[in-house]
Structure 1
Amino acid sequence: MVFPTQEAVRDVLKRTAVALKQGDVPFALCGGYAAWVRGAPEPEHDADFLVPEHEADRATKVLVDAGLDVRQPAEDWLVKVYEGEAFVDVIRRVCGSPVETDVIERAEVLPVLSVTMPVITATDIVTTRLMALTEKYCDYTRLFPAARALREQVDWDEVRRTVAPNDFAATFVTLLERMGVIDPAR
């Protein structure tokens, strides 16, 4: 597998954000690059955006009209925007649930690689990443650096409430407490 350069990923990230902004589509940067903007290590392979599910078709049209290479993978919860080997995911469903406008409304407009764009909150970054953990995918390796970097920006009580039904996510929070990364629950 050929991995794109960070510069290539950064370029398609910016082009996608600009197209969504110009098309007046509600969106927010999420995932590893949202964490990076807030102080976590830079991701190595792609970038992610959220769009409300009810805006997904319009978002796709806006991206195609902007001349971007938009592809529909087998998964029905996202589209991919390619530039060479680099790509970004434009996500309309997270962990089986539709992206709602509230997560995008909570996002903060921040400068990202010289383009201002909405970036989901640190609490939402951690919550969405933890809720993706399952018995088939439970890799804490990439979660630790982000949790350490974002720990002071996260409402951990909110994370605990949200992830409580997911044993894999709740265990990660307990592990962070036991390691002294975050304070125990109040």
Structure 2
Amino acid sequence: MNDTQEDMRDALKRVAVVLKRSEIPFALTGGYAVWARGGPEPDHDVDFLVASQDVEHAAAALADEGLHVERPPEDWLFKVYSGTAMVDVIHRHSGAPAERGTVQDADLLEVLSVEMPVLSATELLVQKMLAMDEHYCDFGRLIPVARALREQVDWDRVRRETVESHFAAALVFLLERLDVVPPSS
């Protein structure tokens, strides 16, 4: 493990503990949620999801604990810094405000010795697939995720919830052809 990964892991734990203590509904999402479920470890940042109505409470709780909170121009997240490690706290995904139901539907898992809610593998895949567009369509990053999580995913739900996305349909087609996922039932 390199210093960057160690810093990100420490930031992940620190932010999760603050959110838990503050009783703010949240869930680990993104690359570290995939990693917590058996996928490859990310090398960029840590992502948490909070409901849109909990954004201000979450930002205040994290700032009160001495973490640096930054509001970038993007209106779907805020950033938290623990030392040099960056944590994205996301409150909108797939173009819609994050709902408490999505956050509260997460599974409690032990991640780095801290019990925390982690988005389901199905929800993770749906969100990652709906994030694809003509500017970001990297199947090479998503195929290993799908392969690592395939037994944990409700593929029929993924197909239903991503049916409007041509990029998602292309990825599912490719995953079927590669025998990563079963054909549609």
CA contact (8 A) 1:32 1:47 kept: yes
Aligned to 1:141, the other structure's residue is in SS state helix
Partner of 2:15: 16
Give the conservation status (yes or no) of the 8 Å contact 1:30–1:125. Answer: yes
- SS of residue paired to 2:108: strand
SS in 2 for 1:110: strand
| Contact kept in structure 2, 1:14 and 1:113, CA below 8 Å | yes
Q: Is the 8 A contact 1:69 1:83 kept in 2?
A: yes
1:108 paired residue number: 107
State the secondary structure of the residue aligned to 2:110: strand
Q: Does 1:74 align with 2:73?
A: yes
- Structure 1 residues not aligned, in runs of 5+: none
Q: Which amino acid aligns with 2:138?
A: D
Aligned residue type for 1:101? R
Offset, 1:103: 1.2
Does the CA-based 8 Å contact 1:157-1:185 persist in structure 2? Answer: yes
- Quote how far apart the aligned CAs of 1:4 are: 6.5
3-state SS of the aligned residue for 1:170? helix
- How far did 1:85 drift? 2.5
CA distances 1:51-90 after superposition (whole Å, capped 9, x unpaired):
0001111110111111111111111111111123311100
Scaled by the length of structure 1, the TM-score of the pair is 0.96
| Cα distance in 1 for residues equivalent to 2:3 and 2:127 | 25
Distance 1:106 1:96 in 2: 19
The one-letter code matched in structure 1 to 2:107 is E
Aligned partners of 2:77, 2:103: CA distance in 1, in Å?
16
Trace 1:168-183 onto structure 2 (pairs within 5 A).
168-183=167-182
Q: What SS does the corresponding residue of 1:138 show, helix, strand or coil?
A: coil
Quote how far apart the aligned CAs of 1:184 are: 0.1
Q: Which residue of 2 aligns with 1:40?
A: 39
Structure 2 unmatched runs, 5+: none
Residue type of the partner of 1:135?
A: E
RMSD, aligned α-carbons:
1.2
Give yes or no for the alignment of 1:128 onto 2:131.
no
Instruction: Give 1:49's aligned residue.
Output: 48
User: Which whole-Å CA distance do the structure 2 matches of 1:177 and 1:11 have between them?
Assistant: 37
1:94-132 per-position Cα deviation (integer Å, ceiling 9, x unaligned)? 122100112112101110101110000000010000000
Give the Cα–Cα distance (whole angstroms) in 2 for the partners of residues 85 and 144 of structure 1. Answer: 30
How far is 1:23 from its partner? 0.6
One-letter code of the match for 2:160? R
CA contact (8 A) 1:4 1:85 kept: no
Question: SS at the partner of 1:134?
Answer: coil
Tell me the SS of whatever aligns to 1:142. Answer: helix
CA distance in 1, matches of 2:103, 2:82: 25
For 1:102 and 1:83, the matched residues in 2 are separated by 28
Deviation >4 Å, runs of 4+: none
Q: Residues 168 and 4 (structure 1 numbering): CA distance in 2 closer, same or farther, change over 3 Å?
A: farther
Taking structure 2 as the reference length, what is the TM-score of the superposition?
0.97
